[in-house]
Amino acid sequence: MKERLEALRVEALQELQQVAGQQQLNDLRVKYLGKKGALTEILRGMGSLSAEERPIIGQVGNEVRAAIEAVIEEKQEAYRQEETAARLREETIDVSLPGRALPTGAVHPLNKVVTEIEDIFIGLGYSVAEGPEVETDYFNFEALNLPKNHPARDMQDSFYITDEILMRTQTSPVQIRTMKAANGKSPIKVICPGKVYRRDDDDATHSFQFNQIEGLVVGPNIRMSDLKGTLLQFVQLMFGSQAQIRLRPSFFPFTEPSAEVDVTCSQCGGHGCRMCKHTGWLEILGCGMVHPRVLEMGGYDPNEVSGFAFGMGVERIALLKYGIDDIRHFYTNDQRFLNQFARM
């Protein structure tokens, strides 16, 4: 039996050396090591051996099995490596190819302008205050010296939810809320950015929804000259050091005295052109000294403190800054328009 086992080892190893594929290797495993394989068949005859011969033949049988299994495992590992190498060759990615550029977004031009205005005023010592877009009639009108049935309400009577609740028509309510929250303490220096809503027909210069930034300063001995100096510094930081302003008397219920502010036309430098209707000036905002009644509604004694306020439309500033002729470009989501600002 020992000779048969040795002969089986030689035969199996010779066949395994000539194997030509994974399937043939599996067939040889079954042929020699399977339940009905040649090695099993030989070892079934161990029952006829003497007690002394059995351990010797058993050891030889194990050695033959181990030798055959070692060669089979070596062959299988070689086939696995060949398969992996072939898959890597087939799935190779040429990393030298140029990458596919993915489209990236950019900050909307209106948001760019809002951020720039905020940065300017923060640099001047202001803080940013925000408030609700759905506002009460009291904060939107009455606390700003616009009692019910006041004629100045006509151009702002807009989107009412109830008789006492509406979409805010200005960010001025944030000024009142800020004053009330301060409990009579000063100074106050805030800007109030946000969306506002008015009943307007959409055209090149108007929209029913637009962005506004208002400013408020309250403290002892605040003067009109402080307001003018602040606005001059703002327009020069926004439009360039050559920009100048002029103040024209106007009327707002919540300021007294009040003024409209013009800036020198960025298109012609103040010489006169079609954009500024040959005046050399473009209107950008309204302003004035805070009305004593508004100070009282905010919790301040107008005999002890004074203040100034101003308000500007962000779209108006953006139109002038970028030389755009139609406010609707900001809202129509035309990528041909918006892509111009991705590079700025």
* Cβ-contact 300, 216 below 8 angstroms: no
Amino acid at 284: I
In a domain, 100, yes or no: no
Q: How high is the pLDDT of residue 305?
A: 96
* Domain with 329 in it: 109-340
* Cβ-contact 330, 316 below 8 angstroms: no
Please tell me the distance from the alpha carbon of residue 317 to that of residue 133, in angstroms, as a whole number.
21
Q: How high is the pLDDT of residue 123?
A: 96
73 carries a ligand binding annotation: no
Please indicate, yes or no, whether residues 154 and 52 belong to a single structural domain of this protein: no
Three-state secondary structure call for residue 342: helix
* Cβ-contact 33, 64 below 8 angstroms: no
In a domain, 101, yes or no: no
In a domain, 96, yes or no: no
Please tell me the distance from the alpha carbon of residue 89 to that of residue 344, in angstroms, as a whole number.
45
Tell me the β-bridge partners of 200: none
Q: How high is the pLDDT of residue 1?
A: 66
Residues 6+ apart with CB under 8 A from 242: 236, 264, 269
Please indicate, yes or no, whether residues 318 and 181 belong to a single structural domain of this protein: yes
Label residue 134 left, alpha or beta by phi (over 0 means left) and psi (-120 to 50 means alpha): beta
- pLDDT, one tens digit per residue, over 310-322 is 999 999 999 888 8
Please tell me the distance from the alpha carbon of residue 264 to that of residue 284, in angstroms, as a whole number.
10
Q: How high is the pLDDT of residue 47?
A: 63
In a domain, 102, yes or no: no
Please tell me the distance from the alpha carbon of residue 186 to that of residue 183, in angstroms, as a whole number.
9
Task: Tell the residue number behind the tokens 């001047």, with chain if given.
Answer: 124
CATH number, domain of 127, equals 3.30.930.10
Low-confidence ranges of the chain (pLDDT < 50): none
Give which of 283, 289, 273 is closest to 320, Cα–Cα: 283
Q: Which of 91, 122, 139 is the last residue of a domain?
A: 91
Q: How high is the pLDDT of residue 238?
A: 93
